[in-house]
Structure 1
Amino acid sequence: MAQQKQKRPRTYARNRAAAVSRRGYEKVFESDGTYFLKLVVFVLLGTFWIKFQYPITWLGMPLSAIPAGFLVGLILVNRFEKIQLDRKIWYAILIVVTIICYFVPAGVLV
């Protein structure tokens, strides 16, 4: 006797989220210009450091700079990106740019 296939529940359009297609794929509404603008904004935020002329000792460690743009960027990504995969991409971009710009003479000197 042949096995019968299990019936999958039907998904009607009125019950399905608007951002998901019938096959379960996400519909992308973001244009290339929007993505590029976000990329430029997050790269610029990653470069913004507040550097001290004389290092401050905090918990026994010398602190010579604070990544202010990185902290603002984390808040913006968490607030405006709804999709987890997109958030991971923006977090990775912020971390890489912030680490690179720590060694570059960029930032505000206090």
Structure 2
Amino acid sequence: MTGFLTRLLINALAFLITPFFIPGFYLEGVSAAIFAALVWGMINTLIRPLFSFFTFPLQILSLGIFTLVINALMLVLTATLVPGFSILSFSSAFFGAIILSFVSMVLTHLFK
């Protein structure tokens, strides 16, 4: 249980840091960040594998670059479901997903 809470807080912190780097990526406070991290985790666990399965040929043809598009789509879906979290454009979602993953990776290594 502590691993889940640690991961949730790391992702929430990543959600709070990302708007400083990406224009068009808006978050209205800590509670929205925690809820967004929770929804993001659920979407990546339940929905992302289906997208990855059905877009596997595109991922092969693009040498894996299409995975970034899937991450951006999952982030747009998260923003749609979470009140207080919005993304203005697909490019903001695309680069936001990259920064979010990077910040989450760095924070995970710092807290281990």
| Higher relative contact order, chain-length normalized (CA < 8 Å, sep 6+) | 2
Name the structure where strand makes up a greater proportion of residues. Answer: 1
Name the structure where helix makes up a greater proportion of residues. Answer: 2
TM-score by shorter chain over 0.5: no
Q: Which has the larger radius of gyration?
A: 1
TM-score normalised to the size of structure 1? 0.28
TM-score normalised to the size of structure 2? 0.27
